[in-house]
């Protein structure tokens, strides 16, 4: 009889803990300002936006939700990339703290192709960074976006997230 009561209380306790975690996660989620299709189009055309990564999809391993803020900030003259990296690298960085995809570029090409009325493909090729060859964005009119990063000495890696307005 005692084991049934113990099992019952364990089940209730685990249920309460799970419910608390879910409600905390929902209440602590950040509210993102809604952008319309014209806002997204203007940001893509003007090459001024911030990509915020929510999930990472490495070539090897499992998909992970990101709990910290990782971004790619783009203005007309600066590309500021701060993303994590999970995967295989054939060359280790000289500085162990630089394990992610972190760089600032002032020399890059920016090409936009409108695939549909509500989708844009943006290709950015940094000219002054030898470790990253290309950033390929697929941006949708609802603000969601995907990013594929092709590196010289690392596995390709993908991110999903959303687009925000950059600080002007």
Inter-residue contact 50 to 39 (CB < 8 Å):
no
Q: State the Cα–Cα distance between residues 84 and 107, nearest whole angstrom.
A: 22
| Domain limits, the chain | 1-30, 37-164
pLDDT averaged over every residue in the chain: 78
Question: String of b and e for 72-94 (b: at least 16 CB within 10 Å)?
Answer: bbbeeeebebbbbbbeeeeeeee
CATH for 37-164 is 2.40.128.410
Inter-residue contact 164 to 52 (CB < 8 Å):
yes
Question: Encoding tokens for residue 116?
Answer: 């549909």
Summarize pLDDT for 52-79 with one digit per residue, the tens.
Answer: 999 998 888 788 898 999 999 999 899 9
Average pLDDT over residues 111-132: 87
Sign (positive/negative) of CA torsion 102, 106, 111, 117?
positive
- Residue 116 has what pLDDT? 75
Per-residue confidence at 160, pLDDT binned at 50, 70, 90?
very high
Q: State the Cα–Cα distance between residues 65 and 134, nearest whole angstrom.
A: 23
């Amino acid at each position: 009889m005692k084991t049934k009561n113990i099992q019952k209380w364990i089940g209730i306790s685990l249920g309460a803990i799970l419910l608390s975690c879910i409600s905390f996660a929902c209440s602590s989620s950040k509210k993102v300002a809604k952008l319309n299709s014209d806002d997204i189009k203007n940001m893509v055309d003007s090459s001024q936006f911030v990509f915020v990564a929510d999930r990472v999809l490495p070539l090897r391993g499992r998909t992970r939700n990101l709990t910290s803020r990782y971004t790619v900030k783009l203005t007309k003259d600066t590309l500021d990339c701060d993303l994590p990296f999970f995967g295989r690298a054939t060359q280790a960085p000289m500085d162990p703290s630089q394990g992610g995809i972190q760089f600032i570029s002032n020399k890059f090409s920016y090409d936009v192709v409108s695939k549909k009325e509500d989708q844009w493909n943006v290709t950015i090729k940094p000219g002054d960074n030898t470790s990253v060859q290309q950033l390929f964005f697929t941006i949708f009119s609802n603000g969601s976006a995907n990013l594929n990063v092709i590196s010289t000495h690392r596995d390709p890696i993908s991110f999903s997230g959303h687009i925000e307005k950059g600080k002007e």
